[in-house]
Chains A and B, each alone.
Chain A
Amino acid sequence: MNRFGVALVAIACVTALAAPGLAPHAIDDQFPGLLNAPPTLPHVQDDAGSWHAPYIYRWRLVNQLEQRYEADRSARVPLAWFSNGRLVGSADDRQAPLLLLGADSFGHDVFSRLLFGARISLSLAAVAAIGAMLIGGAIGGIAGYAGGATDDLLMRATDFVMVLPAMYVVLALRAVLPPVLAPAVVFSLLAAIFALVGAPFIARGVRAIVRTERGLDYATAAQALGASDARLLVRHLLPAARGFIAIEMTLLVPAFIVAEATLSYVGLGFPDPIASWGTMLHDASNIRFADFPWLLSPAAAMFFVVLGLNLALEGAPEGRGSGIESLR
C-alpha cells in the first residue's frame, strides 16, 4: 500500500461526496457572458503591491469571435466564505463569478461540474465493480466448489465473454437502447453492462482459489463438523479469495471510469443536464480545446484517480496480467 496513492483516491472520494458544499455553483448555472472564459485566479496582492484578503478580478470580453478575455483590474471582487451553504464563492456571483477552472462553451463553471461529475463517474465505477465482484464471486465460487460439468459450463461461458471484443460489446449493448434515457436508467444500465463484462476476470481467479482451498484440511474439518455446502463456501472458502478480489476490484475501477468516459465521449453516455467526466470531455471535443486547456480538467482528474489506484496497488502481489487491462 502506498500512502500517496491512497491519499489521492481518498481526496477524490471526499471532494465528490462534499461536492454540494465545495462547489461554488450549481451544476446548471450558466454565465452567458463568460463562454469559454479562463480560470479566475484568486489574488492576494494588487498591482500597487498592497495585500488584501483573497479576491478575484472580473473578466471583460475583448474579442467576441476568439472569445478572448482580459481581467478588469480596476475593481477587486472579494471572495465570500461560508455563504449560501457553500465553502467559497464570489461576492458578486452574477457579474464576476468565481471560476476556478474557467467556464465551458455553455458558460458552465468547469470546477463545479468537475466535482459533481466525480460523483457520477466514481460511483458508477464503484457500483459496477461491486456488481462484478458479486457476479464473479458467485460464478467462480460455484464453479470451483461444484467442479465437474457445472465447472466446465461456467468456465466456458466466462472464457467466451473474456475473448469478446469488450469495447464493441459494450457499444453494441448500449446502442440497442434508445439514445436518450433518464439519467438513473443510464446509470443502472452502464453499471450492469460493466459488471457483466468485468465479472469473468474475478470469476476465474475465485474459482482457482476455491478449488485449491476445498482440498485443504480446514475445509474437510468444517465439512466433517456438519457445515452445509453453502456455509462451507460462503463462510470458509470465499474469504480465502478476499485479497485477490480486492486487487482485481482496484484494477476494475479505473477500467470502468475510462469506459464510462469513452462511451460518454462518443455520445452514448449520460444525457445533457448530468455532468460526468465523460460528458464534460464530450463537450470539450466539440470545440478547439487546444485554445481552452481548462476544458481538459476532467482528463486530469481521471489521471490522478487512476494514478492513485495504481499507486495503492504498488507492492501488492502482482495481480497484473489477469487481463483486466484489456477493458480499457
Chain B
Amino acid sequence: MSRYLVRRLAFAIFLVIAVSSASLVLARLAPGDFVASSLGGQASAQEMAQARARLGLDKSIGAQYVGWIVAAAHLDFGQSLAYDRPVRDLIPERAANTAILALTAIVLATLVGLPLGVISGSRRGGVLRGAIRSASLVLLSMPPLLTSLFLVFLAARSGWLPIAGMRSAQTPDGGALLDLIRHLVVPAAAIGLPLAAMIERVQAQAMREVADQPFVLATIARGVPPARVVWRDALKPALRPVASVYGLIIGTLLSGSFAVEVITAWPGLGNLMLNALRARDVYLVAGCAGAGAVFLAFGTLISDLALALVDPRGRV
C-alpha cells in the first residue's frame, strides 16, 4: 500500500510540473505579451522595452523557464504581472474558493442522487421510478454550462438569490456565512444537479444488479422487511460502482466549475486562469494550470483510496 502511494505521489508531482511547465512555455509562445496588452497603444517602444526588462520578459524562453523552475523548486512561483502579487499568495485563495464550490456540489450531488438512485433502482415500475428516471435524463442532458445559465435566469427573474460573485459588498443581516451560502446556491446547484443525475443512474444500475443476487432473495425469505433489505443489505454491495464514479467526477468538477465560475462570476481558479490567459500573465497561467493538475491528481488519489476502503478486492 505504501509503495503504491509513493508511486502515485511521484506521478502526481510529475504531472503538476509537466502541466505548469507546458502552460508557461505555451503562454510565453503566444503572440503578444503582458506589456503589449496592458500598456496598449499609448506607450512608446522605449517604455515598453523598459517594462519588459523590469518584468523579466526580455529574456529568452529558455532562460526564463530555467529561472522559473529553479525558483519554483524553492516554492517561489513568480510574481503575477497583472495582479502584482506573488502567485503563491494568489492561487491558494482562489483554489480554496473553487474547492468550496466543488465540495458543496459533490455533497449536494450525493445527497440528492444516491437516495433517488436507490429508490429508482429497487423498483420495477411505478410513478415515482418513472419521475426520477425522467428527471435524471433531463438533468443528464444539461451540462453545468446550461444548468447555470438556466439557474441564473431563474434567480434573476425571481430576485430570490444573488446571481454573481461570492460575497455581498456589505455584510447583510444574518452574517457572512449565510451570505456565502446564498451566493453558493446557484453555482453549486449548477454543478451538482447534473452530477446527481449521473450518480442516480449508476446507483440505480448497481441496485438492479445486486437485487438479482441470491443473498437478497435469502434475506427477504428470512422475513426481513423490504425497506430494510433495500436500504441496508442491498445498498452496501451496491455502493462500490458509485464509489468508482467519484474518480471520474473530479474531472467533471474541474471542467464544469470553469463554465459555472465564469457565468456566475465566482472568484475561483477557473476565472483566475481565464483572466491570466487574457492578460498574458505567464507565471499566473502556469500557477493556475499547475493548481488544476494538483486538484485533479489528489482528487483521483483520494477517490481511489476511498474505493479501496469500500471494496477490499481493489486494494493494491
Contact = CB atoms under 8 A, between A and B. Distances in A.
Interface of A: 160, 163-168, 171-173, 175-178, 254, 258, 261-262, 265-266, 281, 285, 288-290, 293, 296, 299, 302-303, 306-307, 310-311, 314, 318, 320-321, 323, 325-328
B112 interface: no
Contact of A172 (B26, B144, B146): B26
B252 A325 contact: yes
The 4 closest A-B pairs by CB, nearest first: A326-B251, A290-B156, A167-B255, A307-B141
B138 interface: yes
Given A163-B297, A323-B248, A326-B252, 4 more contacts: A258-B143, A302-B146, A321-B248, A328-B145
Contacts of B292: 165, 168
Interface stretch (B59-67, B72-80, B256-264): B256-264
Contacts of B215: none
Interface of B: 15, 19, 22-23, 26-27, 29-32, 137-138, 140-146, 149-150, 152-153, 156-157, 194, 198, 201-202, 205, 241, 244-245, 248-252, 254-256, 258-259, 262-263, 270, 273-274, 277-278, 285, 288-289, 292-293, 295-297, 300
Contacts of B15: 160, 163-164
A123 B27 CA distance: 29
Given A281-B149, A303-B141, A288 B248 contact: no
Given A176-B29, A310-B140, A285 B263 contact: yes
Contact of B202 (A178, A254, A320, A328): A320
B251 A290 contact: no
Contacts of B149: 281, 296, 299
Interface SS of chain B: helix, strand, loop or mixed?
Answer: helix
Contacts, number: 136
Given A266-B262, A326-B255, A176 B145 contact: no
A299 B141 contact: no
A302 B148 CA distance: 14
A165 B19 contact: yes
Given A165-B293, A165-B295, A258-B145, A172 B23 contact: yes
A261 B27 CA distance: 23
A160 B23 CA distance: 15
